Structures are given as structure tokens and as C-alpha cells.
Amino acid sequence: MRLSTTIISLGLIFSSQAVAEQKMIYESVIKGDAVKVFWDSEEKENKTHIKIVKREKNVTMECLPDFSLLNYSEKTGGSRELSISKVGPCLIVKNYEKGKEKILSHKIDKMPWIQEFTFGFQSFIKSNKNSYEFCIVYPKDLALHEMVATKEEEEEIEIAGKKYSTQKVKITLAGFKKSFWKGYAWFDKQSALMVRYKANEGPRTPYMETSLIEVIQ
């Protein structure tokens, strides 16, 4: 009985270690130009730390175990640094570019804050909710946008030779702005990870498709 308990305990330990660190490779294609995006997720001190590397852009995020975002930092080409932190009911935004610093405060109260869709919809995908309201800070102008994610049909898709059972989600701006932009994301129903994303960044911007091509655990 003790041996069985020990084996189970060890199994739980090794299982928790297996998901404590996760590396993923996505590929984003814009106008035929394919760019690899490297994700590294690690659990430390009851928080999840995420690193993203994409050409000249480096992103770091700090989240709670449920992937609620606490801090977001973005460095682009050595010339720009953007940081966003959740402080009480507000998001404190600091942008340093061309020798000038700009600081803004956006009050969001209890509205969920998401900057990257890959992990940000974990709780929504696993829930019975059909829609999810959240906010995002648009890095180009530092403005706060309220958004809505809505579950659509479930789909079986194949990416890089691997089949996924997914939940398709439509993402739009909230209210009357919803006609100005929309995007679609597909999430693996088992892991709640985003495996495909299709959208542009706004009017007159190129269309982008992002796909998960490898997971390393």
C-alpha cells in the first residue's frame, strides 16, 4: 500500500514538472513572409512566466496560475520599451521611445486584461460561457480597447501533420466598434492553447495567419 502511494506521489510530481515548463514554436505568415515565434512558459513561485521571441521583438509576461496577467513588457529593436502593469483597478502603461517616456493609467476595475491570446483565454475556453468580455492595450497608440470573444462552432483541424479538436472563437471590438475589426482563433479543447489565429491589425493592414507548429515539453 505504501509502495503504491509512493508511486502515485512520484507520478504526480513528475506530471507537475512536465507542465511546469513548456516551449512552443508558432509560425506567423504575412504576405508570404513566414516568421517563427518562440514561446517559453515556466512556473516559478506560484506564478507563470512567459517569454516570447519574434525577430526584433522580445516580450515577457508574468501571470497568476489561472493566466490572469499581472505584468507585460515588450522590447522592440532596442529603440522602444513598453511595459504594462496591473496595479489595483488600473493598468499603468509606460512607453519609452526615441528618448521620450510616456506614462498612462487606464482604469479597468475587474475587467479581465489580455495582451496575448495564446494563453489568455484559458479560463474562457474551459468554461461553459459563450462570450467573454476583456480589455487590451493597443501597443501602437497605447489606447485601451474593450473587446468581446464569442464561441462559435467546434472544428477538427490539422496543423503540421497533427490533428486538433478545437473551439473556434470570434474576437471583435465591443459595442458599435465591432464592425471595424474582427479576428478568429482556434483553441485546442484539451489544453485550451491557441493553435491557429487569423486576422489583421486594423484597416489597411496586411492579413496574418499564425499556427502552432511544435510543442516541446
pLDDT tens track for 139-191: 989 999 999 999 999 999 999 999 999 999 999 999 888 878 899 999 999 99
CATH 2.50.20 for the 19-216 domain, yes or no: yes
In degrees, to the nearest 5, what angle opens at C-alpha 85 toward C-alphas 24 and 73? 40
Q: What is the CA radius of gyration of the chain?
A: 19
**C-alpha to C-alpha distances, 62 to 46, 48, 72, 106, 125, nearest whole angstrom:** 11, 6, 7, 19, 20
- The three cell numbers locating residue 17: 514538472
pTM of the model as a whole: 0.85
Query: What is the average per-residue pLDDT within 114-142?
Result: 94
pLDDT tens track for 19-73: 478 899 999 999 889 999 999 999 988 999 999 999 888 999 999 988 999 999 9
pLDDT tens track for 75-113: 987 789 999 999 999 999 999 998 899 999 999 999 999
Q: Do 176 and 169 meet the contact criterion of CB atoms below 8 Å apart?
A: no
